[in-house]
Amino acid sequence: MAYDEKREMPRVAYKAPPPLTSRLISALGRSCRSLWAIPGERRAGLVRIRPCYHVDSLSLGERPMVVDLGPGCDANFSKEMMERFGAQCFAFEPTKKHHPALRALEQASAGKFRLVRKAAAGECGRRTFYEERRQESGSLIEAHSNVGSGALKYEVDVLDLKGIFEICEAREINVLKIDIEGAEYDFLLKAPSELLWRIRQILVEFHHHCVADVSEADNERVIEHLAQLNFLHHSIDGVNYIFFRRLWAC
């Protein structure tokens, strides 16, 4: 199985999305690459989880502890991890409009799913959160392409990785899934290495394509940082990544 090679990318400012035809062609290309990769992923022990993630089944463990940063309104990732692997899930979601559906899931989960109404970033504190009524995902970053002039603004509690470990009362996290709309760079680069060592695998959706002044070079900084901690990485589309360490290789 081939993993992504490091490459230097020029830093570029955010640009408007390409025309619909270009996006359709790009989506078709990703689908073809994804299908081509399936046999190799299976040999390597990688399992696909909706909507767009992979987990490493070989280092997952029994009844894994899953931390879902940014589950969205339906928490599809957490749901599938509970259904397929019996996972215990902690979901950190600051978006107020998602809370009713996530509370209902929490009540129906028999203790497997816990909602924490806080955001994740590089430092603990209070931050302004921008909720766009017409988009599912809001952001701590005003320069995110989802944030328009009519976005709803409110203050939220923000936790760093240390604070997340404390909330979960966990010694180890089996799977940390991160979809926090541009705050992932600050969150991961400021996270203490001793805490990252206590995570078996990290799933990240990068948002270089929708945050001003962020580029693929910033993705590479995160990739290099995690590689120094012996994380392997795999991605089909250059946006959604899995970082994982095999226990016998640590």
- The answer to whether 118 and 160 have CB atoms below 8 angstroms apart is no
pTM for the whole structure: 0.83
Please report the pLDDT score of residue 59 as a whole number.
84
The whole-number pLDDT of residue 35 equals 39
pLDDT tops 60 at residue 89: yes
Res. 61: pLDDT tops 70: yes
pLDDT value for 4: 44
Domains in the chain (CATH in brackets) are 36-121+160-249 (3.40.50.150)
pLDDT at 149: 86
**Residue 217 clears pLDDT 80, i.e. is over it:** yes
- Sort 162 into a burial class: Cβ within 10 Å, 0-12 / 13-18 / 19+: middle
Which helix (H) or strand (E) covers residue 75, if one does? none
What SS3 class is residue 57? Answer: helix
How large is the average pLDDT for residues 161-171?
97
Banded model confidence at residue 43, pLDDT cuts 50, 70, 90: low
Looking at the predicted structure, is the pLDDT value of residue 30 above 70? Answer: no
Most confident of 15-24, 42-51, 227-236: 227-236
Decide: residue 34, CB within 10 A, 0-12 exposed, 13-18 middle, 19+ buried.
middle
Mean predicted lDDT score pLDDT of the chain: 86
Instruction: Lowest mean pLDDT of 35-39, 49-53, 182-186, name the range.
Output: 35-39
Query: What residues contact 63, with CB distance under 8 A and at least 6 apart?
Result: 85, 86, 87, 88
Is residue 222 pLDDT above 60, yes or no?
yes
Ranges 39-43, 82-86, 108-112: which has the least confidence: 39-43
